[in-house]
Amino acid sequence: MKTTVSEPEVWKRVVEIEIPESEVEAAAAAKLAEIRRDARMPGFRQGKVPLAVVRQRYGKAARAEAMEEVMQGAFKSACEEHRIVPVSEAKLTDVKGGEAGEALRFTIETEVDPPVAEITGYDKLKIKAKPVKVTDSMVEEAFNEYIDRYAKFEDVERPAKKGDYLRIRYKSVSIDDVDRPDLKDHCPEYPIELGGDGVFKEFDKGLTGKSAGDEAEIGVKFPKDYADTGVAGKAGEFSIEVLSVQEKRPPELNDEFFQKIGGSTADAMKGEIRKSIEARVLREAKTAAHDEAIQALIKDNVIELAPSNINSLARHVWDDHVKRRNLPKAEPSEEQWETFHSLAVMMLKRIKIVDYVADKENIKATQEDVDKEIMQMAQLYGQDFDTLKQMLRKDGTTNRIRMDIRERKTLDFLIGEGGTE
C-alpha cells in the first residue's frame, strides 16, 4: 500500500492511497468465499453452491463490498502511520481502478484538530480582578430579600393593587390570531406579583383592580428577543381568570423569629450576608477578568480550529439551549446560528489557550486540590467523604473535577493570581 498525505489547511488532511491489485483480488475472493459458505440455492446444499455460480450472481456485489472494507482498513492504517486523528467523517473522492487486473486508487479528505503553534503575551497581561465595594445598602437589600422568603401570603377579598400576588389561570391563548390550546397549561406555576420583575406591563395593567373570580382579556406583544422563539416578535391574546388575590405579610423580626431560622441577631445575619456578598462579587470580578484575558489572547494570537469541531459544538450548545428553556424543537435561524457558531469558536479557542498555558507553566490540580473540592461537595450534600470520593472515581467525575481545577488555576495565573506547580 502506498500513501501520500497533503495538508491544504492546518486542519485538513488529504490522503491519497494506492492498493495493489493483488490485495483487492484477495479481498474480493475472501468475500466471495464468505458468501458461498452461507449461500442457499435450489438444488445445492448450503456451502456447496459452485463458485462459478456464486460469482455470476454475487460477483459484483462481493467486489464492491470487499473494496469498501479494503478502503476503510487502508485509511485506518494510513491514519496510524501518519498520526492522523480525524475529527470529522472521512470524505471519499476520486476512486479509480479496483477491477480485475487494476490497482485501487482513491483519495480521502478528513479534518483534524490543529495544534496550537504558540500563544504569545499570556505572561504579560495586565488584567486584574476588580471586585466592587460591598456597601451597607447592598447588605440591607440582601437581608430584606432573605427575610422576604419567610413572608406569609394571605388571600384578600378586595381588588388587586401593585405589590399583590395573583394566582391566575389561562382560559384560552392565541398567538397572531391563531388559537393555541397547547399554551393554556403554560400559565405561571407561582403567583405573579403586580409590578414585579419579569411581569409583562400589559398583565400589570390588565390585572390591576381585578378580584378573585374576575376575568380579563389581555393582549401582549412579545419582544423579538423573547426566550421562546416560537412566539418571539408575535402578538398574544390571553383570556385570564383570577383565582385569588394575595397580600404579602412580612414576618415580625424578633428573637423568636431569628432563633427559628438559625440566626442569633439581625446584625449577626447581616455580617454573614456581607461575607457572602463579598465572596460573590470577588467571583464575578475574577470571572470578568478571566474572560477579558481570554479575549485579549484570542485577539493577539492566531488559533486555528477545525470547522467540523466548531459546527459540532455549536449544534450541541444550541440543542442544550432549547432543552434547558423547554423550547419547541426547531432549527436555529440564520442569525441564531451565527450567534451560536461564534460562541463555539470562542469556547474552543478558550480551551486551546488554557491547555497551552497550563502545559507551558506546568499548572495542574494536585491531589490536595481535588480532595478539597470533594470535601466541599460531601459537606454540601451531607455525604461521607471517603464514600463520595470512591463513587466519583468510579464514574469518572474525579477526572472532570481535576480538569476544572486545572482550568481555574490557569485562568487565575493569567490575571496574576496563584502560582504554578
pLDDT at 230: 83
Element (H, E) at 216: strand 215-221
d(CA 110, CA 359): 27
User: What is residue 200's three-state secondary structure?
Assistant: coil
**Residue found by looking up cell 449544534 in the block:** 315
On average, the pLDDT of the chain sits at 90
At which residue does the C-alpha cell 440591607 appear?
140
Range of lowest pLDDT (49-63, 303-317, 380-394, 405-419): 49-63
CA dist 214 and 245 (Å) reads 10
Q: How far apart are CA 289 and CA 128, in angstroms?
A: 6
- pLDDT, tens only, 222-233: 999 888 888 889
Kind of pairing between the strands at 235-249 and 165-175: antiparallel
Q: pTM for this structure?
A: 0.73
Residue with cell 475472493: 29
Query: For position 419, what pLDDT does the model report?
Result: 55
pLDDT tens for each residue of 162-218: 999 999 999 999 999 999 988 887 777 778 999 988 888 999 999 999 999 999 999
Over 80: is that where the pLDDT of 56 sits?
A: no
> Tell me, what DSSP letter sits at residue 211?
-
pLDDT attached to residue 173: 92
330 pLDDT band (50/70/90 cuts)? confident
| % of the chain at pLDDT higher than 90 | 69
* 100 pLDDT tier (thresholds 50, 70, 90): confident
Please answer whether residues 353 and 408 qualify as being in contact, where contact means their C-beta atoms are separated by less than 8 angstroms: no
Q: Which of 288, 410, 416 is nearest to 359 (CA)?
A: 410
| Axis crossing angle, helix 397-414 with helix 367-381, rounded to the nearest 10 | 110
pLDDT surpasses 70 at 111: yes
Residue 206 near residue 134, CB atoms below 8 Å: no
* pLDDT of amino acid 256: 84
Q: How far apart are the first and last CA of the chain?
A: 47
The pLDDT of 5-31, averaged and rounded, is 91
DSSP state of 112: B
Statement: residue 255 has pLDDT above 90: no
Can you tell me the mean pLDDT for 5-27? 93
What was the pLDDT predicted at 245?
A: 95
Q: Name the E strands within 41-118.
A: 91-97, 104-111
Domains in the chain, start-ordered, CATH in brackets? Answer: 2-111 (3.30.70.1050), 116-150+264-304 (no CATH), 152-249 (3.10.50.40)
Quick: pLDDT tens for 25-46: 888 888 888 777 767 677 676 6
pLDDT band at 54 (very low <50, low <70, confident <90, very high): low
Pick the more confident residue, 102 or 120: 120
Q: What is the pLDDT of residue 43?
A: 63
CA angle 241, 245, 251 (to 5 degrees): 150
CA distance 419 to 421: 7
